[in-house]
Structure 1
Amino acid sequence: MGSEPARGPDRGSRLASVVTFVRDLDQSVEFYRELLGMRVTVRTSTAALLVGSDETQLYVRAIGPGGEHPLGAVGVQYVIWTADSIEDLHRCERALKERSAHTTTREMADGYTMVEGRDPDDLPLVIAYPGPQVAARSEIMPRIYAW
């Protein structure tokens, strides 16, 4: 039996990976690679694993042109990513605008900024700065009721 590391008050489960199904693998891999600054570490003809600078993983799997993702159905609706800096958030905003995928940018009452857009499959995408470790969220954001 191995011993487990001590767990302090700030330790616990963390999000490690996100899995998303897409219509076009190449298009989605390039989009997420550019927007989130992730690197492709594994790739097959139908899937890819992208890894961020903090080792967060994004699995992208192609399911073809007929795939659907109904908003408002049970299940994950979107993921909120955290930018490394305000400059990185502005870079993400520019990248979304260059692809005509930017929806809005909002200054939130809790002291953070959210950039919203859509990925190549029209899935909602949110990037915030700073992350909740720096600017703790004290209310339910209205955005979760708006999709």
Structure 2
Amino acid sequence: METRPGNRAKKTRIAVEGGRVLVAYPHEAASSGPRSAPLPADSEPVGSGPDARGPRLASVVVFVHDHDASADFYGELLKMKVTVRTATAALLVSRNGFQVYLRAVGPKAAHPVGDVGAQYVIWTADGPDDFHRCERVLRARSDRVDTREGEGLTVVEGRDPSGLPVLVAYPGPDEVARLEFISRYYV
């Protein structure tokens, strides 16, 4: 795992034992017992090293029923500011420059699940306090909210004003290696 200046994350330990990859996540209680040991000094996690960097996600475009209601929702949940607004669209920008484009397509537009294309966007909370804040926002603004723990992370799922699934996880992939699918969404 790469540690950047200002990154408050504790390191995740990864080990290989009997052909299985074992992971110790930083937010696990010490009483749960060891689930891994440090990797040998000469090993390097997948996706690390000088050639590991590539393009990163910069923007998401979301088609919504009402861009004003969605801008209020995403602005509060994700702590983003509306920088541009037209009669049919809004652009929200985070403090680190990530962008969410909201495009109004009307109240009767469908969102078929299982069709080709992105189905979910999973946001990462900034820390445990931010995760609980996001959970409170979703509970206050969404009629369907579910919090699940497993695979080394906690995920809260709610709905945006258009009924689209919104997921927030903690810790993020920069803090915990993802070595298995999130079973609720991929298996």
TM more than 0.5: yes
Contact 1:49 1:60 in 2 (8 A): yes
- Report the alpha carbon displacement of residue 60 of structure 1 after superposing the two structures with TM: 0.2
- Report the alpha carbon displacement of residue 75 of structure 1 after superposing the two structures with TM: 0.8
Contact 2:142 2:160 in 1 (8 A): no
Residue 55 of structure 1 corresponds to which residue in structure 2?
A: 97
Residue 94 of structure 1 corresponds to which residue in structure 2?
A: 136
Contact 1:23 1:67 in 2 (8 A): yes
Tell me the SS of whatever aligns to 2:108. coil
- Report the alpha carbon displacement of residue 91 of structure 1 after superposing the two structures with TM: 0.3
- Report the alpha carbon displacement of residue 104 of structure 1 after superposing the two structures with TM: 1.0
Corresponding position: 1:141 with 2:182:
yes
Q: Distance in 1 between matches of 2:89 and 2:58?
A: 18
Corresponding position: 1:120 with 2:161:
yes
Corresponding position: 1:41 with 2:89:
no
Q: Deviations over 1:44-100 (max 9, x none)?
A: 111111011221110001011121110111111010001111101100000111113
- Report the alpha carbon displacement of residue 134 of structure 1 after superposing the two structures with TM: 0.5
Tell me the SS of whatever aligns to 2:83. strand
Tell me the SS of whatever aligns to 2:146. strand
Contact 1:101 1:119 in 2 (8 A): no
Runs (5+) with no aligned partner, structure 2: 1-48
Tell me the SS of whatever aligns to 1:53. coil
Residue 65 of structure 2 corresponds to which residue in structure 1?
A: 23
- Report the alpha carbon displacement of residue 10 of structure 1 after superposing the two structures with TM: 4.3
Structure 2 length-normalised TM = 0.70
Contact 2:151 2:180 in 1 (8 A): no
Residue 19 of structure 2 corresponds to which residue in structure 1?
A: none
Structure 1 length-normalised TM = 0.88
Q: Could you tell me the percent identity over the aligned residues?
A: 58
Corresponding position: 1:69 with 2:69:
no
With over 3 angstroms needed to count, the CA separation of the structure-2 counterparts of 1:98 and 1:34, relative to structure 1, is same
Aligned residues: 139
Q: Distance in 1 between matches of 2:143 and 2:77?
A: 11
Q: Distance in 2 between matches of 1:21 and 1:43?
A: 14
Tell me the SS of whatever aligns to 1:92. helix
One-letter amino acid of the structure 2 residue matched with residue 17 of structure 1: S
Q: Distance in 1 between matches of 2:90 and 2:147?
A: 29
